[in-house]
Structure 1
């Protein structure tokens, strides 16, 4: 199943406001700006305090839906995505590279929208893998090479513990989708992302997952 979504939430770090964009700002508008996107049933997303921070709670039981924000981000200005997440109930014993196992307790993704040229649409999924090692990259089982999966957290990660993440999205896009051969060509291909989304999904496996996301912030460094 092709899922064009991406979402985000909290990082307790000090960032220069002139070089950072908080896409969730849950202490203010929360997820009001985000749109629900359903694929199979509806996962439940609510905000509240959890283990020391304001967070987005995600519950999924045989469902696949997420929250999506259409907002263009210039990666030449703010290439880093910062977020925190916590998983309480992982998805064990799945082949996450197969269609029947393409479920994740937590994922955040970014999309380059190809518009009418749909073949130019690309999505990079930062996932919490319950069954694979950290640091792996593979093609999505449904969408193939146009959607790349990256295990930012792996099977060795602890449940019930907040993890802080920072990724250079621009460099990750180059590394996963291919270097275009020059700085100019790379900027043309990867400078802007158009959609950010979060999703906790269990529709393919029929399992249950519970996870939490903090604010997602794009920063200069």
Structure 2
């Protein structure tokens, strides 16, 4: 909504209308538009799967995320579950994801929200081991490369990693559904310290149920890497079982970033 000076200016402009009715209509329309704009920018949609059409392999704006040395890819498809379109992932000793490019300032929009569901946890998943680096569901956030915020040693390591692995992020937060680790555990990825693993769900108690999540990405980044984060430049979902050679099925709902933490009243609705 406009401030006091803005309201007075708007009112004076409206007085220039040819009739009192026209002035009221103009003012009401502009004020309503201001309110709608403020409401719309309080949340940034990163993955609006609920508006996609069932049967699509790729929701609008999303593209495959594959890895050089992993030929077997996870299958993704938009399906309807509980009357709402979501993304279903099916992995058979495979690994790949879907990624969407975004531009989000985590200092302004620190809260990431999403919902997900899995059929079962993996038998041999282990967040500490390369051979256990598989999860029925993971959602990760990548950050843009800002040379001014990276030390020399890390710059060199990052450039060397790009030569070997291709286009890798300078930093990534992986939110995972693990098998046995304590919820809240944060450790380096088994392959690289450019990615941090954060256990959001663990065990089979909630399998088969939709679970809503909310994380403060700003605080998670500060705890994981230290300092303030650069802008978020990507969001990805992935279900992978290439290391454990198991099978997994997961479902992903809408993903968004918000300025404020979701209230308990909102959570109940």
The TM tier, using the shorter chain, reads 0.7 to 0.9
- The answer to which structure, 1 or 2, has the higher relative contact order (CA under 8 A, 6+ apart) is 1
More strand, by proportion: 1
Structure 2: which 5+ runs fail to align?
1-37, 54-58, 148-154, 160-168, 261-269
2:61 to 33, 39, 43: 33
User: Quick check: 1:131–1:154 contact (8 Å CA) kept in 2?
Assistant: yes
| TM-score of the two chains, using structure 2 as the length reference | 0.68
User: Quick check: 1:93–1:131 contact (8 Å CA) kept in 2?
Assistant: no
User: Quick check: 2:126–2:132 contact (8 Å CA) kept in 1?
Assistant: yes
Q: 1:173 to 1:115 in 2, by over 3 A?
A: closer
Question: What is the 5 A alignment of 1:42-191?
Answer: 42-114=73-145, 117=155, 118=158, 121-143=170-192, 145-155=193-203, 157-178=205-226, 180=227, 186=228, 190-191=229-230
The secondary structure found in structure 2 opposite 1:204 is coil
Q: Does 1:219 align with 2:219?
A: no
**Structure-1 separation of matches of 2:225 and 2:219:** 10
Structure 1: which 5+ runs fail to align?
1-14, 181-185
The secondary structure found in structure 1 opposite 2:129 is coil
| TM-score of the two chains, using structure 1 as the length reference | 0.82
Give structure 1 regions of 4+ aligned residues with deviation exceeding 4 angstroms.
Answer: none
More helix, by proportion: 2
Task: State the Cα deviation string for residues 183-204 of structure 1 (Å, max 9, x = none).
Answer: xxx2xxx041111111000001
RMSD across aligned positions (CA) = 2.0
**How far has the Cα of 1:29 moved from its partner?**
4.6
| Structure index of larger Rg | 2
Q: 1:156 to 1:28 in 2, by over 3 A?
A: closer
